[in-house]
Amino acid sequence: MNLIGNCQTTAMGILPHVSMEEALTLALSLDIPFWPQLPRMSFYEDMYVQATEHLPGIITNAKEGRISFSKDKFYEELPEYLSNMENPDYFRLSPDYSPVYHAFLKKDLSKYYAVRGQLIGPLSFGLNIIDENYKLIIYDDEVREFLYEFLSRKINVQYQELKEKNDRAFVWIDEPHLAMLFNANIGYTFESAREEYSDFLKTISGPKGVHLCANPDWSFLLNLDLDILSLDALSWGEVFTYYTDEIRNFLDQGGIIVWGISPTTDEQTETVNVSELLAKLEGFWDYLAARGIPKEQILAQAWLAPDHCFFLNSALSNVEQSFFLLRQLSQQLREKYRLY
């Protein structure tokens, strides 16, 4: 699929709303809307929890607000999983785990350029969930291999559901903990992760995208078989652009870069203006252009988004301001560069 950038707008999944309709209205105000995750509304709206439905071995404690893993429980529940491997319903995100998702599917999504879903990625999930021995499950070779397969099936079922509503649907993979992979103390090597993640991406249907807000070794992601890479450019854009050769190759292969540029913190949303954001963003692009990447290509393969999700921002007025800044920035860039 040849995706068009042209500074179209999208955003991360997590919003601080407790009103489903208000959150959906905001998400649908963008060029590429998404179904919001509302963890303040329900424990089951948490992005980690949503990935656990029917996951063998998982222990969900909604009262205490935590999830963990049991290897014994994993073996007990594995036969049920194996008997349902070809059953798409087994891997669907049910209304119990996200009424927002199902409300999104009921909207008319055909008029948008594209629509987006999301699911927590295997690296971040494995680096965040512990077993009964207080060991991160990413270190268990058997569980990690299974996790890649399980999440791939859930992503593909979600993709098919969204594709019925919009032919340019895609599901990106949220990897907020991916930067931990490059910590010298991590017992899961960079080389193993690159090989296994590459194999994982081969099983994903539709456009392949990864989003993270941290600052990893960007060459890891830029050299994967990705169609979409989403980053917090407001915080890490300068570092990211140092990977000029990798960015050039990524763009030459048709990749879309999602530049997270409108601020999400209360202080920044109240003080920054569109002109400042425009200057910052064009500074990144001019740096790349000076090193041989045509600015026309950068623009043609750019989407815009807030710098990260809004989980820590409870002031809805500032969330709306961030979206307003994003839409204004997109409009100015489209007018300036005649992106139609």
How remote is the C-alpha of 310 from its chain's centroid? 13
pLDDT band at 181 (very low <50, low <70, confident <90, very high): confident
Q: In this prediction, what percent of the chain has a pLDDT beyond 70?
A: 98
Q: Report residue 71's pLDDT band, with 50, 70 and 90 as the boundaries.
A: very high
pLDDT > 80? residue 309: no
**The residue to which tokens 């407001």 are assigned:** 234
Residue 81's Cα: distance from chain center in Å?
26
User: What's the pTM?
Assistant: 0.96
Residue 95 per-residue DSSP state? T
Instruction: Supply the pLDDT for residue 112.
Output: 98
Domain residue ranges of the chain, discontinuous segments joined by + = 8-337
Q: Average pLDDT over the chain, rounded to whole?
A: 93
- Strand 208-211 to 170-174 pairing: parallel
Structure tokens at 339: 């992106």
Q: Are 153 and 84 in contact (CB under 8 A)?
A: no
CA distance 76 to 78: 6
Domain 8-337 has CATH 1.10.10.10: no
pLDDT at 216 over 70: yes
Which contacts (CB < 8 Å, 24+ apart) does range 66-72 have?
67/129, 68/129, 68/130, 68/131, 68/132, 69/129, 69/130, 69/131, 69/132, 69/137, 69/143, 70/131, 70/132, 71/131, 71/132, 71/140, 71/143, 72/132
Beta-sheet pairing, 302-306 with 8-9: parallel
Chain segment 32-70, per-residue pLDDT in tens: 999 999 999 999 999 999 999 999 999 999 989 999 999
Residue 183, pLDDT > 80, answer no
Give me the helix-helix angle, 141-163 and 71-83, nearest 10°: 40
**Beta bridge pairs of residue 174:** 120, 211
Distance CA 137, CA 143 (A): 7
Question: 3-class DSSP state for residue 218?
Answer: helix
pLDDT in tens, 130-172: 999 999 999 999 999 999 999 999 999 999 999 999 999 999 9
Band of the pLDDT at 340, cuts 50, 70, 90?
confident
pLDDT band at 184 (very low <50, low <70, confident <90, very high): low
% of the chain at pLDDT higher than 90: 83
pLDDT at position 313, please?
Answer: 60
Widest CA span in the chain: 60
Q: What angle do CA 23, 55, 100 make, to 5 degrees?
A: 15
Q: What pLDDT, in 10s, does the model give residues 78-88?
A: 999 999 999 99
